[in-house]
Amino acid sequence: MPAQASTSRSDAPPLTERQEARRRRILRASAQLACRGGFDAVQMREVAESSQVALGTLYRYFPSKVHLLVATMRDQLERLHGTLRKRPPAGDSAAERVAETLMRAFFALQREPELADAMVRALTFADRSVSPEVDQVSRQTTAIILDAMGQDDPSPEQLAVVRVVEHTWLSALITWLSGRASIAQVQVDIETVCRLIDLTGGERE
């Protein structure tokens, strides 16, 4: 398949309004196909047809299906972040707010399990060529957690804890998707790891 550089990468020039609209159509088509049939249902030719772009154009934006689905996950998390900002978590402590936020993210993904499975599979399949897209997913997840903490200037120790929380959340999502964990177990695991946040001081005074 073509190996052009993706315009979603951090070192690419900013997209024009028309290019951004085209990219959003592609991501929407990817999500719709994944919702219908998971990872295998997302075929690049069908994505191109659904988003009304040429196949070569699609590959210029996303060199592979894995690139596309990882970018789709970042887009879904960005949308979720917007929703969370409109209705922030209500817990008294930073740990409680982060746990509530991550469970809301989990339940949002649970509503479309085929899409969630496709995106998570793409993350697990991603090699070094997909690192920029994977980094964007991580940065978006970090931003969601820091917002829930009420933290805009985290210490290195707090960032380390956030990474552990992210890893646990993703692992819990994978085990749930594979049928190896119940929702109740996912919640216990997330609430447990989030207690580390308060050990670092949570938000700054």
Answer whether 166's CB lies under 8 Å from 140's CB. Answer: no
Rounded to an integer, the average pLDDT of 45-72 is: 97
**6-13: average pLDDT:** 52
CA distance 104 to 184: 13
The residues, any chain, with a CB within 8 Å of residue 141's CB and separated by 6 or more, are 77, 166, 169
Model pLDDT for residues 89-119, shown as the tens digit of each residue: 998 999 999 999 999 999 998 899 999 999 9
Q: Supply the pLDDT for residue 8.
A: 44
Model pTM score:
0.87
Secondary-structure breakdown of the chain: helix, strand, coil percentages, each rounded to the nearest 5: 75, 0, 25
User: What whole-number percentage of the chain has pLDDT above 90?
Assistant: 85
Report the C-alpha gap between 121 and 124 in whole angstroms. Answer: 5
- How far is residue 205's CA from residue 93's CA, in Å, rounded to a whole number? 12
Contact 167, 115 (CB under 8 A): no
Give the pLDDT mean for 4-22.
Answer: 68
Which band of pLDDT confidence, cut at 50, 70 and 90, is reported for residue 11?
low
Cβ contact 76:119 at 8 Å: yes
Kindly report the backbone phi and psi dihedral angles of residue 201, in degrees, each rounded to the nearest multiple of 5, phi listed first: 100, -5
Closest CA to 138 of 99, 107, 165, 177: 165
